[in-house]
Amino acid sequence: MPRALSPSQVEEFRERLCAAAERLFAEHGPEAVTMRQLALELGVSPMTPYRYFKDKDDILAAVRASGFSRFADAMEAAFRSETDPVAVSEAVGRAYVRFALEQSDAYRLMFDLSQPNEADYPELVAASGRAREMMVAQARGLIDSGQAKGDPEVIAHILWANLHGGLVLQLAGKLSPRVDPSALRRASFQTLLKGLARDD
Amino acid sequence: MPRALSPSQVEEFRERLCAAAERLFAEHGPEAVTMRQLALELGVSPMTPYRYFKDKDDILAAVRASGFSRFADAMEAAFRSETDPVAVSEAVGRAYVRFALEQSDAYRLMFDLSQPNEADYPELVAASGRAREMMVAQARGLIDSGQAKGDPEVIAHILWANLHGGLVLQLAGKLSPRVDPSALRRASFQTLLKGLARDD
DNA sequence: CCTCGTTATTTACGACGTAAACTTATAATG
DNA sequence: CATTATAAGTTTACGTCGTAAATAACGAGG
């Protein structure tokens, strides 16, 4: 038998391919991420990646997972940079927005509406779960400090839906030209905080 | 010369093609909407649509416009079905959610993150503007009745971002399994109403 | 009826994802 | 050490896509 690939070699190739895909996404947009371009980037034949990934969807799932991982990292760093719960929420929110706008190709891919069921890709489930956990942690801060009443998971999702909704409307070009995206985000956050503070 | 196409014949073909595309979207998903399938559906050759549309993007823009038109119709009907401003907002919201979930392929297409700039497609601008106007009108009701304070356009976008955000997270399969989508929407709306009512 | 301009079809090209056949190189066996 | 089985990687090929270019069909004006 030939040099059987060690698990670490497999992992290394998968990571190199992922990095190449991210580079192509960021520099030439989604339509540049083709099996042939990826292969060229790695100096390998177009069929080689199929030894390491089931198919292109499998590759995209890995790229999504890697995106969610960087996303979670950014939010965790923001989380740790503040102590006051409202300031923590604001910092996490800023990190969120920053990621979505600066790495918008990654963000688009991560939240694509036509992606296969993420349950089929365990590392994607883990990575996106980690990002979600950050938002729940931040919501818990608001609750523990009395800034909000209710279930932390629900509150996290309310804030998340708002932020994500505004961002994707912006990215899709659907916001009214009369509405400034970042003013909208500020108004949304203020409004939600007011609503969450009430205990009736 | 042969029967030169009258504007009405052109319009008729465009509408037939649009209807065929919507049928394909709804019945067989986005990947079924190909030039060849469309042509088959219309009993015409694959190149014929190019006499009526610039390219496939132009066709998709027309399908989006038609989707926004039905969407606006649904919200307008809901708007007229109630008189109390909060009930109006709830009815419009229900119509919105109903459309997004029952015609989710259309909804996905309409809010796709990788669509070309809608400014290049005037009928799309008009149709999506009509839908947006409905949300502003509904926000005005909340303001006029004292349920909310602020700029109607901003308030409309706050509510819109929330609803849209929750829906696309649901459609992308990103909501926590522990969170019920419709409970989330109720909690979001209640929270926003509370926040909007405060005048400080 | 012929001709010319418009509409529609046919044919063809390059790119895509990937299945299948084939080549290459190494590690275990005799 | 030579042989051979087999995993890794490449080549080739297929069917599909959007659409450009060449071609055909056809109906109104001379």
Residues 55-94 of B with CB under 8 A from A: none
Q: Please measure the distance between the N-terminal and C-terminal CA atoms of chain A and give it in whole angstroms.
A: 71
CA of B28 to C1' of C6 (A): 35
Contact A174, B112 (CB under 8 A): no
Q: Which of A154, A163, A190 shows the shortest C-beta gap to B184?
A: A154
Contacts of residue B58, defined as CB under 8 A and 6 or more positions apart, other chains included, come to: B121
Q: Using CA atoms in the order B33, B34, B36, B39, what is the torsion angle rounded to 10 degrees?
A: 50
The predicted structure's pLDDT at residue A9:
86
Of the listed ranges A6-20, A122-136, A174-188, B140-154, the one predicted with least confidence: A6-20
Q: Which residue has the tokens 């296969």?
A: A116
Least confident of B2-11, B130-139, B147-156: B2-11
- Residue B60 structure tokens: 């998709």
Q: Do B24 and B37 meet the contact criterion of CB atoms below 8 Å apart?
A: yes
| B100: closest CA of chain A, how far (Å) | 12
pLDDT of residue B8: 78
CA B6 to C1' C13 (Å) is 33
Taking the CA of residue B10 and the C1' sugar atom of nucleotide D28, their distance in angstroms comes to: 20
Contact B111 A194 (CB under 8 A): no
Q: Give mean pLDDT, residues B81-102.
A: 98
pLDDT at A16: 98
Count of residues in chain A: 200
CA distance linking residue A115 with residue A61, whole number of Å: 9
A111 — pLDDT class (breaks 50, 70, 90): very high
Residues of A in contact with B171 (CB under 8 A): 113
DSSP assignment letter at B179: S
pLDDT in tens, A120-161: 999 999 999 999 999 999 999 999 999 999 999 999 999 999
pLDDT reading at A179 higher than 60: yes
Q: How long is the CA A123 to C1' C26 vector, in angstroms? A: 33
Residues 116-135 of A with CB under 8 A from B: 117-119, 128, 132
Longest dimension (CA), chain A: 71
Q: Does residue A200 register a pLDDT over 80?
A: no
Q: Does B46 contact A at CB distance below 8 Å? A: no
Q: Check residue A147 and report its DSSP letter.
A: S
B142: left (phi over 0), alpha (psi -120 to 50) or beta: alpha
**What does the pLDDT read at residue B147?**
96
B2 pLDDT band, cuts 50/70/90, is: low
pLDDT reading at A50 higher than 70: yes
Where do we find the tokens 């088959």? B40
| pLDDT at residue B3 tops 70 | no
Which strand C nucleotides have any atom less than 7 A from protein CB atoms?
A: 4-11, 15-21, 24-28
Mean pLDDT score of chain B: 96
